[in-house]
């Protein structure tokens, strides 16, 4: 996938759900994974010609793994002319050694988001951009059905009243396979996730199930996504933002 096509997908989502306003300063959560690096490219490119002027800040929350090296990510940010900040934390040690969590993903996400929000506010950002893509949307809905017993998914735009920040997800129309192709085409400097349970999550199970069902019933992924858009989930109906 070429950059122009990526920006087209992102712009459609931004316009459909009114994600960006004039003068916004948007913090990108940059984990070093393929998704967040693709989002960095999309927003850094769009800011040059999008009719509503906005700024971009890139923030990485380092969980404390010594083997995590973000120097190549820093270099990319410099090339794209995006200010880059690394927040150093001891989150990994807290989760795995101090707390010895039976459900480490939940606590890790909470602490990581807290550190990200604090730095975003410190940098005077009024919005944050997460790199959730098309596949994340339908996987999240399926997980809510299986593990919570409800038809639910995160919203394209979410206002966080405690931190007074609006969270946006510009990649919701982008398939994960397209992101993989973009990563390979542009040789994104992906930082390997050192987490010991990476890939062994409920989300991975949902991903594999959807892949299997879609192979048996082609078009299932698109139908699931359409069900979310038309299913009265808060934040997804166009009437919610008009």
Report pLDDT digits (tens) over 91-101.
877 877 776 66
Global pTM?
0.92
DSSP 191-238: PPP--TTTT-SHHHHHHHHHHHHHHHSTTHHHHHHHHHHHTT-TTTSG
Spans of the chain, pLDDT less than 50: none
Sequence-separated (6 or more) residues with CB below 8 Å from residue 186: 3, 41
Determine the pLDDT at residue 90. Answer: 82
Q: Tally the C-alpha atoms within 13 A of residue 164's C-alpha that lie toward its C-beta.
A: 4
Determine the pLDDT at residue 18. Answer: 95
Domain ranges (residues) in the chain = 3-240
Determine the pLDDT at residue 193. Answer: 75
Determine the pLDDT at residue 102. Answer: 66
Tell me if the domain spanning 3-240 has CATH number 3.40.50.620. yes
Q: Do the bridges between strand 165-168 and strand 127-129 make them parallel or antiparallel, or are there none, so unpaired?
A: parallel
**3 state DSSP class of 58:** strand
Residue 6 CA to residue 38 CA, distance in Å, equals 8
Determine the pLDDT at residue 201. Answer: 72
């Amino acid at each position: 996938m070429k950059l122009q096509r990526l920006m087209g997908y992102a712009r459609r989502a931004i316009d459909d759900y009114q994600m960006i306003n004039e003068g916004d300063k948007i913090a990108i959560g940059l984990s070093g994974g393929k998704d967040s690096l693709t989002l960095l490219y999309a927003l850094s490119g769009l800011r040059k010609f999008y009719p509503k002027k906005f700024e971009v800040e890139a923030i990485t929350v380092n969980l404390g793994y010594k083997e995590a090296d973000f120097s190549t990510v820093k270099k990319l940010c410099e090339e794209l002319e995006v200010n880059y900040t690394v927040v150093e934390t001891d989150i990994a040690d807290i989760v795995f050694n101090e707390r010895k969590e039976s459900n480490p993903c939940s606590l890790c996400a909470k602490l990581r988001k807290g550190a990200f929000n604090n730095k975003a506010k410190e940098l005077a950002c009024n919005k944050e951009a997460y790199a959730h893509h098309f596949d994340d949307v339908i996987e999240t809905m399926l997980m809510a059905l299986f593990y919570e017993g409800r038809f639910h998914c995160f919203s394209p735009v979410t206002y966080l009243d405690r931190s007074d920040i609006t969270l946006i997800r510009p990649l919701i129309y982008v398939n994960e396979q397209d992101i993989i192709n973009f990563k390979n085409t542009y040789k994104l400097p992906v930082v390997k996730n050192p987490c010991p349970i990476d890939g062994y999550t409920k989300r991975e199970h949902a991903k594999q199930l959807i892949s299997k069902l879609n192979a048996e019933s082609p078009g299932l992924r698109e139908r699931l996504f359409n069900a979310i858009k038309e299913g009265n989930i808060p934040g997804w109906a166009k009437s919610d933002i008009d």
